[in-house]
């Protein structure tokens, strides 16, 4: 699928859900991390940085695989939600069945959202870890990867709250919301530090 085809699908009511958009941002962030690592590892003059960067590259590969798995899970959750919407609601029995279907899909979708936030937070961590450990001219890519991760965290969290609204049971809803907030705070904290460091390095580089 080309970028144009993806955007055309996204622009329709039958297009992918919000988690898919967030995960595409994570995938771009991780790809930038891998690019930074690849460029650094190709420079023999930066040999002392290679061990740490090689470790980061390995972790980034794992994150990329996790993104692909979550894309599958998000698509399945989206299909389940659409199926719940199409259930009849003509009588009390139908309404109860529809309510239970919504509950089940809401719990699954919220859980997927938390995992998306977690993987985006990991991408932000990897970007931040490269500050001072990669080719110095890669500061812009580090900041870009962190910014994409932050955008993914925010997008996934907003979509997750959309599904949490349909979760029945205050205890479960509270537990899921608490876990979600924990990963939001951690991920956005890492992303903010990485972006700040990249911005400072960029300003220093141009003599500001």
Question: Do residues 63 and 121 lie in contact, with contact meaning Cβ atoms separated by under 8 Å?
Answer: no
**What is the rounded CA–CA span in Å between residue 161 and residue 111?**
11
Closest CA to 49 of 39, 58, 35, 59: 39
R_g of the chain, CA atoms, integer Å: 20
Closest CA to 200 of 129, 142, 133: 142
Helix locations, 42-88, DSSP H: 50-86
**What is the rounded CA–CA span in Å between residue 10 and residue 7?**
5
| Residue range 25-35, pLDDT digits in tens | 999 999 999 99
All structural domains of the chain, each given as residue ranges with its CATH number in brackets, are 18-205 (1.20.120.680)
The reported pLDDT for the residue numbered 94 is: 66
DSSP codes, 173-186:
HHHHHHHHHHHHHH
pLDDT reading at 140 higher than 90: yes
- Tokens for 42? 């190709």
What is the pTM for the complete model shown? 0.90
The reported pLDDT for the residue numbered 163 is: 87
Question: Do residues 157 and 180 lie in contact, with contact meaning Cβ atoms separated by under 8 Å?
Answer: yes
Residue 109 or residue 100, greater confidence: 109
């Amino acid at each position: 699928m080309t970028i144009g085809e993806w955007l055309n699908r996204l622009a329709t009511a039958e297009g992918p859900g919000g988690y898919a958009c967030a995960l595409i941002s994570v995938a771009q962030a991780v790809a930038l991390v891998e690019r930074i690592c690849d460029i650094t590892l190709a420079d023999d003059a930066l040999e002392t940085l290679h061990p740490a960067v090689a470790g980061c590259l390995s972790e980034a590969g794992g994150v990329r695989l996790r993104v692909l798995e979550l894309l599958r899970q998000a698509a399945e959750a989206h299909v389940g939600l659409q199926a719940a919407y199409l259930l009849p609601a003509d009588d009390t029995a139908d309404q109860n069945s529809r309510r239970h279907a919504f509950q089940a899909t809401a719990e699954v979708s919220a859980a997927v959202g938390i995992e998306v936030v977690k993987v985006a937070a990991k991408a932000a961590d990897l970007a931040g870890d490269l500050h001072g450990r990669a080719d110095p001219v890669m500061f812009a890519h580090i900041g870009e990867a962190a910014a994409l991760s932050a955008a993914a965290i925010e997008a996934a969290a907003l979509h997750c709250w959309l599904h949490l609204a349909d979760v029945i049971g205050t205890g479960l809803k509270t537990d899921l919301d608490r876990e979600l907030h924990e990963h939001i705070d951690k991920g956005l904290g890492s992303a903010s530090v990485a972006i700040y460091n990249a911005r400072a390095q960029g300003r220093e580089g141009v003599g500001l």
